[in-house]
Amino acid sequence: MSKNITKLRKQGGYTIEIKKFIEPRKLNYKNLNRLHDYGSVLALYVFLTVIFTYPVAFRIKTDIPGMAGDSFQWMRILWYTKIAIFETNLTTLTHDNLLFYPNGIESMPFPSAFNQIMYLLLSPFLELHVIYTILWLLTFIIGAFGCYLLVKYLTGNKYAAFIAGIVFAFSPYHFSRGLYFFGATTIQWIPFCALYLIKTVKEGGMKNPVIAGVFFILVAMSDLQYMVFMGIFAGLVLLYDFYWNLDLNKEFFRSTGEITKKYAAFGIVSFSGILPLTFNEIRISLSSQNFLKPHYSEILKLSNDFMSFFTPSHLHPFLGDFTLNFYSKLPSWLPEKVNFIGYVVLGLSIFAVIKLKKNPDVKFWLFSTLFFSVVSLGPVLMFNGEPLLINQGINLPLPHQILYQTVPFLDNCRTVGRFFVIATLGFAVLVGYSLSELLKHKTRKKSLLFTVISCLIILEYLCIPYPTSSADIPEFYRTIGNDNENYALLELPANTNGGYMNFAYLYYQTVHKKPLVGGYAARYPENVNSFQQNTPFIRELTYGGRYHNDIVREDLAEKGASILNKYNIRYVILHQDQLSREQMDSANNLLKKTLNTEPEVYPEDGLVVYRVQKEEEEKQFPSIALKDGWYSLEDWGGTPTRWMSDNATLSIYSAEDKNATLKFQTYSFHRPRTLEIYSGEELLHTQTINPDYVAVSAPVSLRKGENTIHFNVREGSERPCDIPELNSNDTRELSIIVQKIELF
């Protein structure tokens, strides 16, 4: 039915009537049906997510999914992004000043940019732990739907595609990583990127590679390791595109040109999007101080065991207790060990390969699945927790060794086992092909077959009830979060190696916003803990009294309060449930003697809190801290001793301008050397040091505040291993030892 539309418009002082004869638009019922189908599928995946992650959605106000630990760290990452952008007086995106106080640590700005951006958008309306849980749940819903779209495109069968979505999104791999590792949990954009890469092969044109590039950026914004894995998958698709075109008997040079244009578009879009996200990591990776590169032993540890493909998850409600015995044999972290394929999924995949062995798409997905499964096994084959040997003492090498040497930045990928995420997608696609064949020939029993197979897969993958952790924060941290003063906290027990800190401390920081002495970083520079290791009193508290004596000889009870005040550390917090009785007694005795005060006790939270009273600056005692260039502490007949290389530095803090004398005992390595002592550019003292004990007494003029004293050995240092008569394996660069540093 058509209709007239009349409009009035003034023109030249007259009102004229304009009539248009409009033909009504016809409704596109095909599109409406498609939207209805998609809506129904999404609703079902939402329902399944709520059920299969039970009780996560029902505890969203109080708990987060998983086992705390790294989950708390990831929540801090989301929070930190907002702080770094909007409170630049506190910290920045590339250097975290709120951890490892007072020096901070170089940080990765965008470890999971998608989740970081989503937090920024949602934070005005929802609490941090609620946003975290919502984003976590969405990885299942969107991941399942993306796989559904991919398999629906490949097979045309929506029932097969629906089950394929379950296989990918609710895999034990996903559930296991979801316990701790939020970036690794964010798998949802992988099937979308794969879909448009496959469309690039089959449909050509420029739209699909551009969209594939956008989804590749989203994969990179989920997890930077997944970016590398997806890049390798895109390379396989490129090879398949050449095969596809040659199989269609297209003219070689023409098809090569078309393929080059398509993947150039994909590459340009992808690269332009990921460069801002990864620029800082690329800079570090290309530097001589690439602390992002893990030790090779970590790669071996975090590779998959072959039997993990066939062992049900430890989260399985019926089988988990039995499989824990197997997982306890593996060297990796428990959440990284689980890669169960499922016997139903494996059987259906084999059926698809046999039934559709001539289908080039099935061949491609079979190759991709096997490729990523094998690469996830790492450099050598591990079987049941032990390396599989091809000969006595010779491991069976695997393809990862070649990729490690050839693929850019793969040497920065520590958790090699996560390659299996692409294999889970491959298995889901093969299941889709298998079911499309089965359902095609079983029309009358389609519903029964669909239901039985779905239930069997779900039964193998089941992880109910899924663990959750309380998101509660002790009231003490909320109280100090209400003041606007800027000061630091020292939490005990603190980390002692740069790679560990109780993750709850990181989460509590999202409320109080105060810098922490120490912290956590998965990758960190060697000197990240120099402040804790080399600063008197801080060192004794951090290391539980193990290094009570060092080469600096000071009365810690007398100077401890001055040191805490100097670095603006307002509170020392003891966590009773994490400290042994011996550690608690040691810390309490030192703090009570130093601060001359009783602590506040919060028994419901297990906290013992010491407040550091402010001292007038002129009343603060001078103190000495070791800086750069010192080797680890050694015990020489009961005397604390440190070697230095060709130069080292001390920091001397003084509350006033004064003249003082720096005294210490020293000893030269192997031959006489000349020691020069500088304050800034000013040479204070020169003395020849022999291979025998020598006392040094150097006058120093101290300015109010921090003074840096440089020790320089004019002749340089030597390695003991380079001197044949010493017959030593010591590779350190040594010049002199230093003992008994005192300031008078």
Phi/psi for 276 (5° steps) reads: -65, -30
For residue 373, count CB atoms less than 10 angstroms from its CB and return exposed for 0-12, middle for 13-18, buried for 19 or more: buried
Q: Say yes or no to pLDDT of 1 above 50.
A: no
Q: What is the pLDDT of residue 497?
A: 53
Q: What is the CA radius of gyration of the chain?
A: 32
* Helix or strand run (H / E) with residue 388: none
Which of 500 and 446 is assigned the larger pLDDT?
446
What pLDDT score was predicted for residue 22? 42
Instruction: Please tell me the distance from the alpha carbon of residue 516 to that of residue 104, in angstroms, as a whole number.
Output: 9
* Band of residue 443 on the pLDDT scale cut at 50, 70, 90: low
- CA–CA gap between residue 590 and residue 557 (Å, rounded): 7
Q: What is the pLDDT of residue 300?
A: 86
Q: What is the pLDDT of residues 548-581, one digit of tens each?
A: 568 888 777 777 888 898 899 999 999 998 888 9
DSSP-derived letter for residue 318 is: T
| % helix, strand, coil for the chain, step of 5 | 50, 20, 35
Alpha-carbon dihedral angle through residues 697, 700, 702, 706, given to the nearest 10 degrees: -70
pLDDT higher for 499 or 197? 197
Strands (E), 523-592: 569-575
Tokens coding 51: 């059920």
CA 556 to chain centre: 38
In this predicted structure, what is the pLDDT of residue 31?
A: 67
Structure tokens given for 118: 């989503």
Residue 204 φ/ψ region, left for φ over 0, alpha for ψ in the -120 to 50 degree band, beta for the rest: left
CA distance linking residue 202 with residue 196, whole number of Å? 10
pLDDT tens-digit readout, 142-194:
999 999 999 999 999 999 999 999 999 999 999 999 999 999 999 999 999 99
For the chain, what is the largest distance between any 2 Cα atoms, rounded to a whole number of angstroms? 112
Q: What percent of the chain has pLDDT over 90?
A: 60
The string of DSSP letters for 41-89 reads HHHHHHHHHHHHTTTGGGGTTTEEES-STHHHHHHHHHHHHHHHHH-TT
DSSP assigned state of 295 = P
**How far, in Å, are 173, 689, 734 from residue 725 at the CA level?**
56, 21, 16
Is residue 234 classed exposed, middle or buried when 0-12, 13-18 and 19+ CB atoms within 10 A define those classes?
Answer: buried
- The mean predicted confidence, pLDDT, of the chain is 88
Q: Are strands 569-575 and 488-492 parallel, antiparallel or unpaired?
A: parallel
Contact assessment for residue 83 and residue 195, using Cβ atoms and an 8 Å cutoff:
no
Read off the amino acid at residue 110. Answer: F
- Statement: residue 678 has pLDDT above 70: yes
250 has a pLDDT exceeding 70: no
More confident residue, 279 or 433: 433
pLDDT higher than threshold 50 for residue 20 = no
CA–CA distance, 271 with 265 (Å, rounded to integer): 10
What are 619's two structure tokens? 């009343």
Structure tokens at 176: 């296991």
Per mean pLDDT, which range of 205-214, 600-609, 617-626 is the poorest?
Answer: 617-626
- Cα 88 from Cα 99, distance rounded (Å): 15
Angle at 424 between CA 421 and CA 426, to 5 degrees: 115
Write the Ramachandran bin of 610: left for phi over 0, alpha for psi from -120 to 50, otherwise beta: beta
Measured CA angle at 309 (ends 304, 310), to 5 deg: 140
Q: What is the 3 state secondary structure string of 709-723?
A: EEEEECCCCECHHHC
DSSP string, 446-467: HHHHHHHHHHHHHHHH--PSPP
Classify residue 489 as exposed, middle or buried by CB count within 10 Å of its CB (0-12, 13-18, 19+). buried
631 in Cβ contact with 577 (< 8 Å): no
In terms of pLDDT, which residue wins out, 542 or 235? Answer: 235
Q: Work out the average pLDDT over 302-326.
A: 93
Q: Does pLDDT of 244 surpass 90?
A: no
* Residues 655, 617 contacting (CB under 8 angstroms): yes
pLDDT at 298: 85
Q: Where are the beta strands (DSSP E) in 243-297?
A: none
Give the pLDDT score at 57. 97
Cα–Cα distances in angstroms (integers) from residue 698 to residues 206, 527, 534, 738, in the given order: 74, 28, 21, 14
Sign of CA dihedral 644, 645, 646, 652: negative
Query: 97 forms bridges with which residues in the sheet?
Result: none
The CA-to-CA distance between both ends of the chain, in Å, stands at 103
Confidence of residue 533 (pLDDT cuts 50, 70, 90): confident
Asked if residue 80 lies in contact with residue 91, where contact means CB atoms within 8 angstroms, the answer is yes
- Alpha carbon of 147 to those of 31, 143, 304, 417, 628: distances in Å? 20, 6, 24, 21, 53
Give residue 514's pLDDT.
96
* pLDDT of 628 strictly over 70: yes
pLDDT of 617 reads: 64
Q: Please give the Cα distance from 610 to 339 (Å, whole number).
A: 46
pLDDT of residue 169: 98
Percent of the chain whose predicted confidence (pLDDT) is above 70: 91
CA gap 573, 509 in Å, rounded: 13
Q: Write the pLDDT tens digit of every residue in 251-260.
A: 666 678 888 9
Q: Which of 91, 111, 60, 99 shows the shortest CA–CA distance to 505?
A: 99
Amino acid at residue number 519: G
- Do β-strands 658-668 and 694-702 pair in parallel, antiparallel, or remain unpaired? antiparallel
Ramachandran area for residue 388 (φ above 0: left; ψ -120 to 50: alpha; else beta): beta
| pLDDT at site 68 | 86
**Distance of alpha carbon 67 from alpha carbon 55, whole angstroms:** 14
Identity of the amino acid at 649: T
Q: What is the pLDDT of residue 98?
A: 95
Q: How large is the average pLDDT for residues 499-517?
A: 88
Inform me whether the pLDDT recorded for 13 exceeds 50.
Answer: no
User: What pLDDT was estimated at residue 619?
Assistant: 64
pLDDT digits (tens, 9 = 90+) for 371-413: 999 999 999 999 988 887 766 667 778 888 888 888 887 888 8
Average pLDDT of span 470-486 = 94
Higher pLDDT, 36 or 65: 65
pLDDT digits (tens, 9 = 90+) for 483-503: 989 999 999 988 655 555 688
Q: What letter does residue 630 receive in the DSSP assignment? A: B
Q: Which domains does the chain have, with CATH numbers?
A: 42-187+293-461 (no CATH), 475-619 (no CATH), 623-743 (2.60.120.260)
Q: Beta partners for 673? A: 689
The residue whose two tokens read 């700005």 is 109
Q: How much is the pLDDT for 392?
A: 67
Q: Which of 481-485, 544-548, 603-607 has the lowest mean pLDDT?
A: 544-548
731: left (phi over 0), alpha (psi -120 to 50) or beta: alpha
Smallest CA-to-CA distance from 461 within 178, 79, 740, 103 is with 178
Closest CA to 655 of 626, 679, 621, 680: 621
**DSSP 8-state code for residue 734:** B
CA distance 470 to 288: 42
pLDDT-derived band at 637, boundaries 50, 70, 90:
confident
Residue 710 Cα distances to 556, 629, 678, 683, 742, angstroms: 24, 10, 5, 9, 16
